[in-house]
């Protein structure tokens, strides 16, 4: 089945910053599209609104796209928009749906890997002012485990596997500790636990992150 040309056209308009034009064209074409193209059109319209900063409109489009969908990406988009509108519990529920579907449909189309999604969501939660243990767990346990288990922190090694860089994961972990009011002693303990499990390159990154901690002692 050939993808309708409007979808590629709208994608290019979004990349070019012509987001409202993309939405207008997608909504005009929508009644004449069949499934799954209507779902993709709504998802693209959601992305256009999201990047335009109109998160409520984005959420509506993403929810319509995710209705009945088994695609992890659809539910990840819903979670990200819900973070932006402040519906944090719903965002975590949508993320759980994305999480489950990512294991059930490992060959599903995606714009970022499952592991990259964890970092993106954790970053969004923190930036939106909603750091909590669930967001911290995404980086401190779920992503950090790659580096501490395999004892490899080379970014190129992990990039081809779709895993975020050690520097990014550790840096976001530090920022969560700071935002959640964790003490310097707690951060030192975290770093001390990681230190024996990473390579020399990781040790250098770890020392810089240890010193960068800014919360009260």
Please give the average per-residue pLDDT across 101-116, as a whole number. Answer: 90
pLDDT grade, residue 203 (50/70/90)? very high
Judge whether 34 and 46 are in contact, CB under 8 Å. Answer: no
Give me the pLDDT at residue 215, please. 75
- Cα–Cα distances (Å) from 102 to 24, 65, 113, 177, 205, in that order, read 31, 17, 9, 28, 30
Name the token pair of 72: 């992890």
Give me the pLDDT at residue 106, please. 84
Query: pTM (2 decimals)?
Result: 0.94
Please give the average per-residue pLDDT across 196-207, as a whole number. Answer: 96
pLDDT grade, residue 162 (50/70/90)? very high
pLDDT grade, residue 176 (50/70/90)? very high
Residue-averaged pLDDT of the chain? 96
The lowest-confidence range among 17-21, 104-108, 168-172 is 104-108
| Higher pLDDT pick, 1 / 29 | 29
Give me the pLDDT at residue 217, please. 55
What digits encode the pLDDT tens for the residues 65-84?
A: 999 999 999 999 999 999 99
Length of the chain: 217
The lowest-confidence range among 1-5, 51-55, 97-101, 167-171 is 1-5
Please give the average per-residue pLDDT across 137-164, as a whole number. Answer: 97
pLDDT grade, residue 110 (50/70/90)? confident
Decide if pLDDT at 175 tops 80: yes
| Higher pLDDT pick, 216 / 55 | 55
Decide if pLDDT at 1 tops 80: no
């Amino acid at each position: 089945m050939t993808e309708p040309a409007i979808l590629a056209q709208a994608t290019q308009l979004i990349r070019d910053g012509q987001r409202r034009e993309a939405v207008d064209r997608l909504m005009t074409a929508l009644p004449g599209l069949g499934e799954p193209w209507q779902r993709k059109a709504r998802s693209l319209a959601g992305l256009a609104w999201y990047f335009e900063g109109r998160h409520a409109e984005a959420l509506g489009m993403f929810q319509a796209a995710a209705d009945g969908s088994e695609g992890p990406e659809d539910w990840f988009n819903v979670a990200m928009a819900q973070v932006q509108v402040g519906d944090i519990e719903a965002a975590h529920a949508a993320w759980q749906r994305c999480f489950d579907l990512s294991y059930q449909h490992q060959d599903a189309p995606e714009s970022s890997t499952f592991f990259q999604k964890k970092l993106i969501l954790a970053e969004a939660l923190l930036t939106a002012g909603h750091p909590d243990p669930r967001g911290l767990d995404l980086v401190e346990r779920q992503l950090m485990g790659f580096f501490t288990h395999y004892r490899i922190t080379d970014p190129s090694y992990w990039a081809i596997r779709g895993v975020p860089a050690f520097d990014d994961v550790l840096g976001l972990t530090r920022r969560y500790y700071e935002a959640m009011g964790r003490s310097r002693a707690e951060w030192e303990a975290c770093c001390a636990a990681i230190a024996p499990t990473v390579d020399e390159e990781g040790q250098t990154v770890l020392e810089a992150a240890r010193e960068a901690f800014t919360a009260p002692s």
